[in-house]
Chains A and B, each alone.
Chain A
Amino acid sequence: KAGVTQTPRYLIKTRGQQVTLSCSPISGHRSVSWYQQTPGQGLQFLFEYFSETQRNKGNFPGRFSGRQFSNSRSEMNVSTLELGDSALYLCASSSGQVQETQYFGPGTRLLVL
């Protein structure tokens, strides 16, 4: 099976712009979770989507949003970018059942100038 894919892999934006990141889960997986990784804050959970519904949400401002499509692909959007949004954004997929393991994609590295 193909692994989790994320596009784009690298992105440079300027403050105030918006950005959309994409994540395609492993075939058959219905849950997609997003994480932000920064040197200062470490790995932080953003949100989880399961069967097109947000099932869980972390402690991030409303500028961070997401959605999931019927084919389980997920997008994450950040509006009005700030310098502090520069990070590695990781997505992970699983079947969605509580006992199942999550598998991570390679990440999207976002740089905000």
Chain B
Amino acid sequence: AQTVTQSQPEMSVQEAETVTLSCTYDTSESDYYLFWYKQPPSRQMILVIRQEAYKQQNATENRFSVNFQKAAKSFSLKISDSQLGDAAMYFCAYRSALSGSRLTFGEGTQLTVNP
């Protein structure tokens, strides 16, 4: 079974600075997808960024980028120019290409942005 681990329960960053959230996963599969979701206090899960395992290029969405290291099974999220609205719980998630839409989530990292 696949597992996803987020080793940082809490992180904090100053507004306008950069922060990196860590995620590692365990799988024996070669074809899969990785995601970062954000859950603000409203509890609505919002997709931040996704990465296809077959793509070597790291995904980027505006201020959000990932460092995908397939051999190391590592998938970190970098948030640049942090904003107060980035404060939320961040979840790393794995989806196999063989198991439909089933997502396996990490434990989450609570991000605080200080003004």
Contact = CB atoms under 8 A, between A and B. Distances in A.
Contact of A45 (B46, B103, B107): B103
16 contacts: A33-B101, A33-B103, A35-B103, A43-B105, A48-B101, A50-B100, A56-B99, A56-B102, A96-B100, A98-B97, A99-B33, A99-B52, A101-B35, A104-B44, A107-B43, A107-B44
Interface string B51-90: 0100000000000000000000000000000000000000
Given A48-B101, A90-B45, A104-B37, 6 more contacts: A42-B106, A45-B104, A48-B102, A50-B100, A50-B101, A96-B100
Chain A: number of interface residues, binned into ranges: 20 to 34
A48 B105 contact: no
A38 to B, nearest CB: 12
Contacts of B108: 42-43
Contacts of B16: none
A56 B101 contact: yes
Contact of A103 (B33, B42, B47): B47
Contacts of A42: 105-108
A96 B45 contact: no
B25 interface: no
Nearest to A104: B45
